[in-house]
Amino acid sequence: MPLDTSAYSLALLRVDGRRWNELRRIHAQIRTQAAADGSSYLEMGHTKVMCVVNGPSEPGPRRGGVGGTSAAGSGGGGGQSKDAEVAVSVVVAGFSSVDRKRRGKNDKRILELQSTISSALGASLHTHLFPHSTISISLHVLSLDGSLLAALINAATLACVDAGIPMTDYVAACTAGSTSTYAANDESADPLLDLNHQEEQELPGLTVATLGDSDRVAVLVCESRVQVGRLEGMLAVGVDGCKQVRGIIDRVVRDKGRRMLQEGTVEKGVGLEDMDLD
């Protein structure tokens, strides 16, 4: 179904009634699953993702391996690296989009998503604190309406925060696009923030993930043809969007923390004000 973009120039409203710089509604929750070390649920518009983090923990004995022969000392079985490994698995539910297509586990697109998320979070998580262990992140996509990679990254970040894994800062992601097609070189084309599925199909767009409040880009994925001149505008809007997303997911964590403090499940910390130096 072609997307009618001609109306945009008249009202400056997108198909779902948003302006160019508006995010869709983001609803997020942490600690949704009692059994996991960390878990989260995230909605970006109609894209809904669930995430569970287990670990860091050391994997048990390797199947088929000979029982460790080393007598003493740390290590022995398990992964031998000095840093924790970040293992990501993404499952896209068959009912998540309109066409009920089953995607195999070895779909290259899924493998690429997994490797991207693992590498993006691995750069922010302090993996050097957990030698020989594995942080396993499993993501389930329940509903799909564009900005998939961004939603997955945000959900994974939230779940890692919930699991109490030390990290440099949040990795927050969102998408940005442009109202012009690749061929048209019209200078008046507006950049767009947070594309939905329809826009993603029809317009050039990219996914950006940044580290915290900085302008440092952890992930930049563009899969459509676009004039090189468009990039700067799209990137700027995307980076700004990431900061907004960071603010929103940070508030989710803070709300949860405040509630836990009020319920008394966690001891109160010392305020910075009462930290007078003697």
Partner 1 sequence: MPITILAPKPTRQAHSHNGHNDDDAMSDSGSDSSGAGGDDDLDEMVSAAAAAGLKSQRDSKYEIVTPGEVITDDPQWMRGHGTYVNPATSAIISSVAGTVSRTNKLLSVRPLRARYTPEVGDLVVGRIVEVQAKRWRVDVGATQLASLPLSAINLPGGILRKRTETDELQIRTFFAEGDLLIAEVQQLFQDGGAVLHTRSLKYGKLRNGVFVAVSGMGGGGGVVRSRRQVWTMDAANGGGQIDVVLGVNGFVWISKHVETPEGLVEKAATTGITNLEESVSATMYSSQNDRIEVDTMREIARLRGVVIALVENGLRVDEDMLIRGYHEAVEMAMVSADGLDDLYLGGEKGEQLAAVLTGI
Partner 2 sequence: MPREAEPSLNERQFVLQALQENLRLDSREADRYRPLEVTFGDEYGVAKVSLGKTRVLAKASAEVTVPYADRPLDGVFQIATELSPMASPSFEVNRPTETEVLLSRLLEKTVRRSGALDTESLCLVAGQKCWSVRVDVHVLSHDGNVIDASCFAVVAALRHFRKPDTSIEGGILTVYTPAEREPVPLGWLHSPFCVTWSYFGEEGEMALLDATRAEEQVRVGSCTISLNRHGEICQIAKLGGTPVEAVILLQCTAIALTKVKEFSAYLDKKLAEDIKRRDAGGRSAELTAENDR
| Residue ranges in contact with partner 2 by CB under 8 A | 108-109, 111-112, 115-124, 182, 206, 210-211, 214-232, 235-236, 239
Measured N-to-C along each axis, helices 108-124 and 148-162 cross at an angle, to the nearest 10 degrees, of: 40
Closest CB to partner 2 among 31 and 83?
83
The span from the CA of 266 to the CA of 264, in Å, is: 5
Phi-psi region of 212 (alpha: psi -120 to 50; beta: other; left: phi over 0): left
Binding residue for partner 1, selected from 213, 217, 220, 227, defined by CB under 8 A: 213
The distance of closest approach from Cβ of residue 269 to partner 1 in the complex, given in angstroms and rounded to an integer, is 3
116 binds, among partner 2, partner 1, none (CB under 5 to 8 A by kind): partner 2
The distance of closest approach from Cβ of residue 68 to partner 1 in the complex, given in angstroms and rounded to an integer, is 5
Closest CB to partner 2 among 235 and 252?
235
Nearest to 245 by CA among 32, 42, 92, 40: 42
Show the site string, 106-145: x = touches partner 1 by CB under 8 A, - = not: --------------------x--xxxxx------------
Our CA angle for 125, 131, 132, nearest 5°, is 115
The distance of closest approach from Cβ of residue 185 to partner 1 in the complex, given in angstroms and rounded to an integer, is 16
Q: Is 32 in the site for partner 1 (CB under 8 A)?
A: yes
67 binds, among partner 2, partner 1, none (CB under 5 to 8 A by kind): partner 1
Nearest to 11 by CA among 20, 2, 3: 20
83 binds, among partner 1, partner 2, none (CB under 5 to 8 A by kind): none
Amino acid at 54: N
Q: Are 182 and 226 in contact (CB under 8 A)?
A: yes
213 binds, among partner 1, partner 2, none (CB under 5 to 8 A by kind): partner 1
Site for partner 1 in 161-200 (CB under 8 A): 161-170, 190-191
Q: Are 161 and 125 in contact (CB under 8 A)?
A: no
Q: Is 184 exposed, middle or buried (0-12, 13-18, 19+ CB in 10 A)?
A: exposed
